[in-house]
Chain A
Amino acid sequence: MPAESFSLRRDPWFLFAAIVGGTLLLAATAGPFLAPYDPYDISFTVLEAPSAKHWLGVNDGGMDIFSELLTALRNTIMFGLLAGMAGTGLAVFAGVFSALRQGVTGLMLMRLADMLLAIPSIMPLVLLAALFQPPPSLMALALALFLWAGPSRLINAQARMLVTAPHILAARQMGGSLWYLLRRHLVPEIYPIALIVLASRLRAAMFMEASLAFLGLMDPARKSLGSMIGYGLKYYFLDIWSNWLLPPIVCLSLLIMSATLLAMRMEKRMDPRLQNLS
């Protein structure tokens, strides 16, 4: 059977995700320069339909929706990146560590994860928002403290399975140190899962941010894809679905979609077992 070679560069899904993700990232970074108006400028005619002057029209507060969208995109992406990466890092560390050290420390770590999982995360987040009105970056880090708990169990389960695998035992037999095991076996074998975890944490963080904003729990003055949807939904009886509701929904979906795709395709690339399937 001929071995299939798999190149990310020629994978249509990966390209799609990379292009979409890249465009959104670019749009977000260049947001302040691309936006035709100041997103907080309330001097325009309220609820004006889309026109050449206002590509997506004007919202109920007199602000240009397109400029709002760019700012919201930027905010959501930054929040997601910060929370997602921090959460993934913590999850991998906790999961692998507790699989290796299956004594008291490992146990306690997993129990801590359980405890964090069992607390409805919305409560501490509401507290944070209400008590401290923290900057979004702090909220993102606080969110990461809850995000790591879920995947750490998954990583722990996988790591435990791996650790009992014969080739690991053999390596141990032959005198492999902990570091060697990590570098040569565990990390490459955990890597795909970690990527999926990153995608899921990114996705979860951006979803959380949008949901919190939609429910009115984040600073309403801060632009967010979620709050745009929330405000827009109030005017469901007017003809605003195409210019006010749809753009943030589409942007949010594309963001999450590209994050997922990138990770999935990378996983396929990295895992040699998945490559040679006949």
Chain B
Amino acid sequence: MNRLFIKIGLIACACLLFASALGMAADTQTLAEVRIGDSKGDWGLPNPYHHYQRGPGYVRMSWIFDTLIWKDKNGEIPALASSWSYDPATHTYTFRLNPKAKWHDGKPVTSKDVAFTFAYFKKFPYSWAPVGYVQQVETPDDATAVVTLAKPFAPFLTNIAGTMPVLPRHIWEKVTDPKSFVEPEAFIGSGPYRFKDFNKTQGSYLFEAFDDYYLGRPLAKRVIYIRTGKPLASLSTGQIDVSNIQPDMAEPLQKKGLTIISDSYGWNKKLMINHRKAPLNDKRFRQALAWAIDRQELIDKAHRGFGAPASLGLLPTDHPMYNPATPAYPHSTAKAREILESLGYVKGADGFYAKDGNPLQLETLSSSLTVGGEQTPDRDGEILKKQLEEAGIRINLVQLESSTTDARVVKWDFDLAVSGHGGLAGDPIALNDYIRPDVAPSFVNGARYGDNAELLALLEAHVKEMDPAKRKELVFRIQEIYATDLPAISLYYPDSRAAYNPAKGIRWFFTQGGISGRGVPIPQNKMALVAR
């Protein structure tokens, strides 16, 4: 009932706001509203403890909560922190805060909020910004925060200062259970927009401009997220102003006058391998799989050529720390067969391999995504099956609902599984999550590979290496080893496109390296709506 009254009240407020917006002197700089289209809709309430774990959830939170450092279309910019410095001797970062920064309830943002946030996230961890390394935060005055780390942490500026939302101390210091705190105060932040409404079942969000935003005036009075399964239709009719689109839609939309932007590679399609089970526990066998797969065919079939073959070292080919010497496996069925035979498999009359009478057969899980609105029938499974069978491996393709597939992968109840994930355009610390074996079991996209001691040591080392050149070397070596051991096989990067209506005057962009240090590859950076 409460929600109903709130909704009625909000609609009334929206009416008033709309009316007053009209009544106000025609302000050509300020749009009434901007509508963003999304296929899933519901990404959770926009605060650190409630948004869903995926990228779009974080982005919705970022409209409201600002971080110390942010990125705009050209790169790093100061946000809550107007300047910062690093002292390598003591592993200390000093941030000078912007004195104009205010919370949505009018109180100023001070260094005490920053110190409090670090302590709070230590007590109630927020997986997007792991603050385990932070030893202490001192606040010599209201505008200075001095953060001391226990050991050097290379991605600190991007992944903590550039990702961690700062919480208002005066609100959160009384909160002992952040997960159940959903009062309106839980959404008070220092970002350019205030949270107004979220409708779960309709999958819609409403944000309203915070005119006292310290970096500049928001260009639109309201930001609205709408769930739509048909972005082309919605963009054409003007129902939404910006949305991610399939590359095939680019041409018809351009003809209608919309601007198309494309992203660097941040999302990959990956073949998960159960490397704990024979015969997949032998890395030569996994290499044979890599030789047998024709990545270009997958792109041509599943994406009409819109994509690029993936590097097997996990970091995308346009990443600043991509290793061009990463072992590649250009498609060769012959080579695959050679390796299989060297492992003792004997080819039968039907072309399929067997060892000691046991036919070589692998069960491949393929997810048919059935989340309301998001329909992506997975053709890749069928094509992979064909390719692997050409190399003599019998494939039993099982198409399941994505949650069922995930559950089986978590329990290691599979041989191969076709899946995909993003987060590759950000800082290479992401590699740690996607490789190490001690990651939380529910992280199904991780290879959970602990067989290579050197790899694990390197993963630990590169995070602590503050010299960029040396760090790059370590990351290079990681990719080399990963591509040799192949705990999972990256297949390709699908082209990522978005379209927006330029008539509204907003220039949306894909952030370099993705939004936040974790590389979220969607073009909804709040800086597009801030006049600076």
Which residues of A are interface residues toward B (Cβ below 8 A)? 40, 42, 46-47, 60-62, 130, 133, 215-217, 219-221, 227, 230-231, 234-238
Given contacts A47-B304, A237-B248, 13 further A-B pairs with CB under 8 A are A42-B386, A46-B301, A61-B379, A130-B401, A133-B400, A220-B368, A220-B377, A220-B378, A221-B382, A230-B375, A237-B232, A237-B233, A237-B252
Residues of B within 8 A of A60 (CB): 302, 304, 379
**5 tightest A-B CB contacts, nearest first:** A61-B379, A237-B232, A216-B370, A220-B399, A220-B368
Known: A46-B301, A215-B370. A234 touches B404 (CB 8 A): no
Query: B25 CB to closest chain A CB, in angstroms?
Result: 41
B215 within 8 Å of A by Cβ? Answer: no
Check if B230 sits within 8 Å of A236, measured CB to CB.
yes
Grouping DSSP codes into helix (H, G, I), strand (E, B) and loop, the A interface class, with mixed when no group exceeds half, is loop
Bound-complex Cα distance A231 to B399 (A): 15
Of B369, B378, B379, B381, most buried by chain A (CB within 10 Å of CB) is B379
Taking the closest CB of chain A, its distance from the CB of B82, in whole angstroms, is 46
Instruction: Report B-chain residues with C-beta under 8 Å of the C-beta of A234.
Output: 375, 377
Quick one: closest A residue to B380, CB to CB? A61
User: Are B377 and A216 neighbours in the complex by a CB distance under 8 Å?
Assistant: yes
Q: How far is the CB of B434 from chain A (nearest CB, A)?
A: 27
Q: Contact between A130 and B377 (Cβ–Cβ < 8 Å)?
A: no
Let me know if B528 is at the binding interface, CB within 8 A.
no
Q: Is the CB of A133 within 8 A of B377?
A: no
Contacts of B252 in A (CB 8 A): 237
Judge whether B404 and A221 touch: CB under 8 Å.
no
Which B216-266 residues have a C-beta within 8 angstroms of A? 230, 232-233, 248-249, 252
Query: Which chain A residues border B404 with CB–CB below 8 Å?
Result: 130
User: Contact: A61 with B382, CB < 8 Å?
Assistant: yes
The complex places the Cα of A163 from the Cα of B460 at a distance, in Å, of: 83
Residue contact A61 to B301, C-beta cutoff 8 Å: yes
The residues of A that contact B370 with a CB separation of less than 8 Å are 215-217
A216 touches B301 (CB 8 A): no
Rounded to whole Å, the gap between the CB of B509 and the closest CB of chain A is 24
Contact partner, A42, options B232, B382, B398, Cβ 8 Å: B382
Complex interface bits, B368-409 against A, C-beta within 8 A gives 1, otherwise 0 = 111000010111011100100000000001111100100000
User: Quick one: CB contact mask for B272-288 with A, threshold 8 Å, 1 for yes?
Assistant: 00000000000000000
Q: Which residues of A have CB within 8 Å of B301?
A: 42, 46, 61-62
CB distance from B488 to the nearest CB of A (A): 23
Report A-chain residues with C-beta under 8 Å of the C-beta of B173.
none
Residues from chain B with Cβ under 8 Å of A133 in the complex: 398, 400
Within the complex, what minimum Cβ distance (angstroms) separates A174 from chain B? 61
* Distance of A234 Cα from B233 Cα, bound (Å): 12
Any A CB within 8 A of the CB of B300: yes
Residue of A nearest to B252 (CB): A237
Q: How far is the CA of A236 from the CA of B231 in the complex (A)?
A: 11
When chains A and B are docked, how far (Å) is the Cα of A221 from the Cα of B377?
Answer: 10
Q: How far is the CB of A82 from chain B (nearest CB, A)?
A: 22
| A131 to B, closest residue via Cβ | B404
Closest CB-CB distance, B530 to chain A, in whole Å? 33
Pick from B233, B248, B302, B400: contact of A130, CB below 8 A. Answer: B400
A236 neighbours in B (Cβ, 8 Å)? 230, 232-233
A235 to B375 alpha-carbon distance, docked (Å)? 11
Smallest distance from the beta carbon of B437 to chain A beta carbons, Å?
A: 29
A46 to B304 Cα, complex, angstroms: 7
Residues of B within 8 A of A42 (CB): 301, 379, 382-383, 386
Q: Contact: B400 with A231, CB < 8 Å? A: no
Determine whether the beta carbon of B304 is less than 8 Å from that of A40: no
Measured CA separation A62–B230 after assembly (Å)? 23
Nearest opposing residue in chain A for B381, CB measure: A221
Query: Across the two chains, which residue of chain B brings its CB closest to A41?
Result: B386
Alpha-carbon separation in the docked complex, A231 to B375 (Å)? 9
Q: Are A235 and B248 closer than 8 Å at their CB atoms?
A: yes
Cβ-defined contact, A237 with B382, below 8 A: no
Q: What is the CA–CA distance of A222 and B63 in the complex, to the nearest angstrom?
A: 44
- Check A231/B377 contact, CB under 8 A, given A220-B399, A238-B248: yes
Question: Whole-angstrom distance from the CB of A60 to the nearest CB of chain B?
Answer: 7
| A273 CA to B302 CA, complexed, in Å | 59
Q: Bound complex: CA of A216 vs CA of B375, how far in Å? A: 8
Q: Is the CB of A237 within 8 A of B379?
A: no
Interchain CB contact (< 8 A) of B399 among A61, A221, A237, A238: A221
Complexed CA–CA distance, A124 and B401 (Å): 15
Name the residue on A nearest B300 (C-beta): A46
**In the complex with contacts A42-B382, A221-B397, A235-B248, A216-B230 CB distance below 8 A:** no
A-contact bits for B334-378, CB 8 A (1 contact / 0 none): 000000000000000000000000000000000011100001011
Which chain B positions have C-beta within 8 A of A219?
A: 399
Query: Could you mark each residue 466-492 of chain B with 1 if its beta carbon is under 8 Å from any beta carbon of chain A, else 0?
Result: 000000000000000000000000000
Residue in B closest to A61 when the chains form the complex, CB atoms: B379
Q: Which residues of B contact A130 (CB under 8 A)?
A: 400-401, 404
Residues on A with C-beta less than 8 A from B381 are: 221
Tell me, rounded to whole Å, the shortest Cβ–Cβ distance linking B376 to chain A. 8
- Cα of A215 to Cα of B379 in the assembled complex, Å: 16
B379 surroundings in chain A (CB, below 8 A): 42, 60-61
Q: How far is the CA of A237 from the CA of B230 in the complex (A)?
A: 9
A153 to chain B, nearest CB (A): 32
**CA distance in complex: A128, B42 (Å):** 28
B302 contacts across to A, CB distance below 8 A:
60-61
Taking CB atoms, residues of chain B closer than 8 Å to A220 are 368, 377-378, 399
How far is it, in angstroms, between the C-alpha of A76 and the C-alpha of B341 when the chains are bound?
43
The residues of B that contact A235 with a CB separation of less than 8 Å are 248
Selected A-B contacts with CB under 8 Å, 19 pairs: A40-B382, A42-B383, A42-B386, A46-B300, A60-B304, A61-B379, A61-B382, A62-B301, A130-B400, A215-B370, A219-B399, A220-B378, A220-B399, A221-B382, A221-B397, A236-B230, A236-B232, A237-B232, A237-B252
Give complex CA distance A231, B379 in Å.
10
Inside 8 A of A227's CB, which chain B residues have their CB?
377
Which residues of chain A are within 8 angstroms of B369 by Cβ–Cβ distance?
A: 216
Report the bound CA distance from A231 to B370 in whole Å: 13
State the CA gap A248–B375 with chains docked (Å).
Answer: 19
Report the bound CA distance from A180 to B377 in whole Å.
56
Q: How far is the CA of A220 from the CA of B233 in the complex (A)?
A: 26
- Expressed in whole angstroms, the Cα–Cα distance for A227 and B400 within the complex equals 15
B404: nearest chain-A partner, CB-CB? A130
Interface hits, B290-309 → A, CB 8 Å: 300-302, 304
**In the complex, which residue of chain A has the Cβ closest to the Cβ of B232?**
A237
A240 to chain B minimum Cβ distance, whole angstroms, is: 11
CA distance A235 to B400 in the complex (A): 22
- Identify which of B304, B369, B378 gathers the most chain A CB atoms within 10 Å of its CB: B304
> CA separation between A40 and B368, bound complex, in Å?
18
With both chains docked as a complex, state the minimum distance between the C-beta of A130 and any C-beta of chain B, in angstroms.
6
Considering the chains assembled together, what is the distance between the CA atoms of A47 and B230 in angstroms?
Answer: 19
Closest residue of chain B to A40, judged by CB? B382
Please state if B398 and A230 are interface contacts (CB–CB under 8 Å): no
B249, B397, B401: the one within 8 Å of A237 (CB):
B249
Give every chain A residue within 8 A of B249 (Cβ-Cβ). Answer: 237
For A45, the closest partner residue in chain B by CB is B300
